[in-house]
Amino acid sequence: MPIHILSTLFTISTEREEKIHEIHCKYATKPETRFICNDSVEDRVHRRQFLTSFVLIWTIVRSKNLSYFKFLFCFTMSIMRVVAITGCDSGLGWALAARSAREGLVTVAGMYNGVDTKAAESLRRLCAHPCSLDVTNPDSVAGFRDYVQSLLNDNPNYKLHAIVNNAGVMTIGDYEWQTQTMIENTIHVNLMGTMRVVSAFLPDLRRSALENAVPSVPRIINVASHCGLQPLPGFAAYSASKAGVLGLTKALRLEHRKHGLGVVAFVPGGFVTSSNIIVHQGASGNAMLEKLNDEQKSFYGKRITTLTNYLQSASSHNTRYDSLKDENIIETFVKALTSESPKALYKVESWRYMFYYNLFKLPLPEGVTSWLIKKFLNFPEN
């Protein structure tokens, strides 16, 4: 294709995206008019659509290369792909939803704290669709799926592209310290919540994959953790939940490979100091102390207090929903979200994570591995 024609096509398509995005933003906050377009703007959009199609068809006829059909289809359909993300109230989830919306994808953001928060409003300004979601509640998950389905039904050119299971909780502390509520909540949110959302959307994603409506593979992206790859002391329930997520992801990928559905594990690496995931650690530490009997308090009390104070100081500045700024994490997620044929695993690792986790894989004496893990965690001494 001649360079000047390709440049023209990109310019026209970009202007078209901006107009449609403008319309989408204008009505996104008004459910009753969300999908109604201003006539004059719509006419201009249609003219640009016609001109784009004419230029491409003329080029294809001249070059006799039908592969350009796929190029235009992929380029123009990008703004019509629908992505549903869980756990978008703050930290990683908010950052993923914000970036997805900025990429031009129709983004539905599941919000545990509801849709009237500053985090929800900021996503709404990016033309995302905040939607209340508690992944531990089957009715809430069903409502989330219905909201996404209503977008698809009201807009025939929208296609379900991905669900991103990001909702997660983490309580740090030895298994014996943690209350039964803490342990069960970790499993219910991180593992069972992921399973509930997968169960709700899997038939829709499978059909989308079989229809082959868009060139890129529809996908499930499950946010996992290095703790699922190598269990760590103080993270027993969390490690178990994330190991379960990794196992679920691998099995689903094998089951649906023949259907053309991608299933991806996304391991974002360490970002505790730039998120709110341990913002409740202080209250959790107090609950742990209250749960222990006198013998346990005598044995563990000082350790719990020291660790709680340390973790509180590490998370005290993370009060904003948009505290995660790590571009490496976000760019890796974009690859998992937009790659035409996504890999099974996308992993973000600092040199420190890479160094230690490669050492953990070696057949070292258990005492040496335990010492390495202690150095890696770098928790304060009693």
CA 371 to chain centroid, in Å, comes to: 33
Dihedral (Cα; 189, 191, 193, 199), 10-degree rounding: 180
Residue 34 has phi, psi (to 5 degrees) of -60, -35
End-to-end CA distance of the chain: 68
Counting every residue written for the chain, the total comes to 382
Catalytic residue of the set 68, 147, 158, 238:
238
Task: Identify the residue whose tokens are 């919000």.
Answer: 111
* Calpha distance 11→45 (Å, rounded): 13
* Calpha distance 261→258 (Å, rounded): 8
What's the burial of 141, exposed, middle or buried (CB within 10 Å: 0-12/13-18/19+)? Answer: buried
* Calpha distance 343→253 (Å, rounded): 10
The two structure tokens encoding residue 219: 């996908």
Question: Residue 131: which H helix or E strand, with range?
Answer: strand 129-132
Angle 3-28/39-63 helices, nearest 10 degrees? 150
In DSSP terms, which residues pair with 346 in a beta bridge?
Answer: 266
Question: Residue 85: which H helix or E strand, with range?
Answer: strand 81-85
* Calpha distance 241→183 (Å, rounded): 10
Which of helix, strand or coil describes residue 100?
helix
Residue 148: closest CA among 168, 131, 164: 131
* Calpha distance 49→7 (Å, rounded): 16
User: Left (φ > 0), alpha (ψ -120 to 50) or beta: where does 11 sit?
Assistant: alpha
Asked about 238 being catalytic, the answer comes back as yes
* Calpha distance 82→107 (Å, rounded): 6
Residues with catalytic annotation? 238
